[in-house]
Amino acid sequence: MPTVNEIGLYAAMSTLRAVRRLRPDPVPDPVLRRVLEAASWAPTGGNVQPWRVVAVRDEARKQRLGELYAERWASYSAQHRKLIADAPESVRERTERMLAAGNYLAEHFGETPVVLVFCFDPRNMAITDAKQGRISVVGGASIYTAVQNALLACRAEGLGCVLTTLLCECEPEVRELLGIPEPWGTAAAVPIGYPLLRGHGPISRRPVEKLAFLDTWGRAWR
């Protein structure tokens, strides 16, 4: 298992995948501290750092988060399965693998050694696209940079992890459970722990030629 500093940044980024099967073994304090410190290095709009993270280790609170997560996962996965009913065989197979891993996570969410609940201050998100007449996404950029840093640090530490957002559907319950004050919101819950199986590894993404253009939209990057 690679440990911190033994993996290059590009190798870490290109093998950072959703790891949903985690062992309950504890994450040592120094390791968790490095993950949280990596999150703290993230850029935010105006360097306001309008985010905080609650590292949940308390068994009863994790248990409750697990129950809430499992309820949301049940309806999400049922919906998702319906959506892919007519998809090609290969897509259905890939999705079923993801759903099986997701079922495992939902059943064991509460046994995860640490759940990182990322919170944001809606008053300070530097939302420069607020008046565009569409959903705003810029605010999220002042917190998900921290989440991604934490995920990459987990990768470097040999910890499995997955960014989840289903608990945001029941933010009031999560807020009360963790004592998160108004008007702070929740952006993600990241269960972390040592992988039960192979952990991080190859990922499947669109090629850069499909994602990036040169000078104008649609112009091939060659």
Residues binding ligand FMN (CB under 6 A): 17-18, 20, 102, 105, 162-166, 203-204
CB closer to ligand FMN out of 10 and 217: 10
CB closer to ligand FMN out of 20 and 61: 20
Are 157 and 3 in contact, with CB atoms under 8 Å apart?
A: yes
Query: Token digits for 195?
Result: 């992988």
**Shortest distance, CB of residue 168 to ligand FMN, whole angstroms?**
8
CB closer to ligand FMN out of 135 and 220: 135
Beta strand ranges found along the chain (DSSP E):
51-56, 114-120, 160-161, 185-193
Strand-by-strand arrangement of the 114-120 sheet: 51-56, 114-120, 185-193, 160-161
CB closer to ligand FMN out of 17 and 64: 17
Query: Token digits for 168?
Result: 């945001």
Closest among 112, 25, 118, 119 to 66, alpha carbons compared: 112
**Shortest distance, CB of residue 163 to ligand FMN, whole angstroms?**
4
